[in-house]
Structure formats: C-alpha cells, structure tokens
Structure 1
Amino acid sequence: MSQQYERILVAIDGSYESELAFNKAVNVALRNGAELLLTHVIDTRALQSVATFDSYIYEKLEQEAKDVLADFDKQARERGLEKVRQVIEFGNPKTLLAKDIPDKENVDLIMVGATGLNTFERLLIGSSSEYIMRHTKVDLLVVRDTEKVF
C-alpha cells in the first residue's frame, strides 16, 4: 500500500533547517503530484508585550514573510512544481502548524525542519516539531540535516 499525498504543508521560518524541509517537500510534492503550501507563522506571543498597538511591526513582519515565501514559491515553480500556495498566519506557531492550518487547508502531510535544540533547551522552550508530532492528526516528516548528525 502506498501513500499518495495531495496537500503538503511545509513550515518556513527562515532557518537553514526549514530550507532543507522545503527542498525535500518540493521533491515529495513532485513525486505525488501534490499541492505545496509554503507556510509561515508570525509568532505574536513574542510581540504582545513589545508592540501591542503598533501595526507597523506586524506589517513589516508580514512583508518580510511575503518576500521569503515569494522566493521559495519561485524556486518550487522553477523545479517544475505547478501547484504552490503561500500561507501566512499570525499566532502561536505550534498550534497553528499542528491543528488549525492543517484542518483549514485539508493538509495530509506536514514537513518541518529539525531544530538543534538540546535536552535543556527543549525543556525550557519546547520543540515545535515535538508539539506538532503529539497534536496533529496527519503525517509528519521531520527533516534532519544529515551533515550535522554524528
């Protein structure tokens, strides 16, 4: 039995690890003839104390996200992917990536880059990929940098 994915969400946060996830997501989407959702979540939890009523900061972050996703969109299309969409949301990345966006967009695969958090860092701030794994209803692929694996 082979799994055919139709709608793949890849989380893009500007990190090297998310770029690895993007590259693998393009390949998986091409093999499956799937739609690729380039997804960026602007974490408003960190902004609440700094910019409660300053819309300029939100607009600037949204424009930066649009620019980054536009570049990834272009790269995906240059590699032959035709079905690409950009999704930008504001809120808690963990819950949005694990539940809200996959439900709303009918996603059947989530792809994220692995972070280099050690045990202590995961205890303090928690791993997004670990949270997604525990709370999502769909398949999750955590992409690792094979160059950094010991």
Structure 2
Amino acid sequence: MGGDTTIVVGTDGSQTSFAAVDRAARLAADAGATLVIACAYEPQRGHDVERAQDILGPDAAYQVVGSAPADESLRTASERAHAAAADVKVETTAISGKPDAVLQQVVRERNADLLVVGNRGLNTLAGRLIGSVPLDVLRHTPVDVLVVHTT
C-alpha cells in the first residue's frame, strides 16, 4: 500500500470498535494511507425529539437529541487514531443507515483499498441468526476486509 491508499474503519462508539480504529490507524500510518473513520446512525424521529423537549425543555433537549451521537463517536475515534499513530491522516464521516450498508457505501465512494472492522458479533449465536456487521461486510464488500480481534 502507499500513495493514494485509503483504509476505512467503522465505529459505533463502543470500546471494541475503538480497538479496531487503533489497529486501522497504525496500519494507515505504516502504509502512508488516509484513514476514513465511518459511523452509521439512525436519525432521531420527530416524536422522540418532541418528547425530549417536553421532559427536558427545548434548550436541553436540543443538546441531548439535536446533536448526533455519531459526531461524538467520530470525535473520540479520531482522537484514538491520532493517539495510536500521531502522523496518520484522518477523515471522518457519519451517514444515516445500517452499519454494513454504510461501510460498503464509504468503501465505494472513497475507492478504499481495505476495510477494517471489529469481530464483535461474529462468533455469536445472535450474529449467526440475525447477522452481524463483520459477517455482512465479509460477504458483500468488494475489497479486502481485516477483522480485528476486539472481544
């Protein structure tokens, strides 16, 4: 890898996803690649925002519901990436949708060379029955996928 290489890593704000970010940051730094940290989210429904405003008041509700949790996850993940590899070039993106579909979208849009995900849910009964992000991206992503042992 080198030159215009791009590595994508997904985060959901969990400690296990941050372990994948750490590994991806070190890989990107070693390869001179750009690291794109992606976070999928589901937008708040209007009813949920109204309910929070009724309970907390409009100013407090905006702070809790109006700011996307994905933004905080990305901020923390970016800090972690720079702590793992100080010279890594990091870009972040938050996209509404299911995690596996969002990661595949980012891989395509950024013409990525590698996707890095954590293994959470990969070896569980629930993951086998209803699916897991690592399993879904392994099946459908057109680039190499590195599954980091994070659990």
**The TM-score by the shorter chain falls in which range?**
0.7 to 0.9
The answer to whether the 8 A contact 1:43-1:93 is kept is no
Report what 2:120 is aligned to.
115
Larger-Rg structure: 2
Supply the distance in 2 between the matched residues of 1:110 and 1:138 (Cα, whole angstroms).
7
| CA RMSD after TM alignment | 2.7
What stretches of structure 2 of length at least 5 have no aligned partner?
53-63
Secondary structure of the residue aligned to 1:106 is coil
The offset of 1:40, in angstroms, is 0.3
What stretches of structure 1 of length at least 5 have no aligned partner?
none
TM-score normalised to structure 2 length: 0.76
Q: 1:138 to 1:61 in 2, by over 3 A?
A: farther
- Size of the aligned set, in residue pairs, is 137
The percent of aligned pairs where both chains have the same amino acid is: 30
Supply the distance in 2 between the matched residues of 1:9 and 1:94 (Cα, whole angstroms).
12
TM-score normalised to structure 1 length: 0.77
Q: 1:93 to 1:67 in 2, by over 3 A?
A: same
Supply the distance in 1 between the matched residues of 2:88 and 2:20 (Cα, whole angstroms).
18
Amino acid at match of 2:74: L
Report what 1:8 is aligned to.
7
Structure 1 position 97 matched with structure 2 position 96: no
Amino acid at match of 1:122: G
**Deviation by residue 1:99-124 (Cα, 9 ceiling, x = unmatched):** x1111111111001111455431233
The offset of 1:19, in angstroms, is 1.3
Supply the distance in 2 between the matched residues of 1:62 and 1:35 (Cα, whole angstroms).
27
What is the 5 A alignment of 1:52-63?
Answer: 53-54=46-47, 56=49, 60=65, 63=68
The answer to whether the 8 A contact 2:39-2:73 is kept is no
What is the 5 A alignment of 1:1-150?
Answer: 3-4=1-2, 6-43=5-42, 51=45, 53-54=46-47, 56=49, 60=65, 63-78=68-83, 79-98=85-104, 100-116=105-121, 118-145=123-150
Supply the distance in 2 between the matched residues of 1:62 and 1:90 (Cα, whole angstroms).
14
Which protein has the bigger helix share?
2
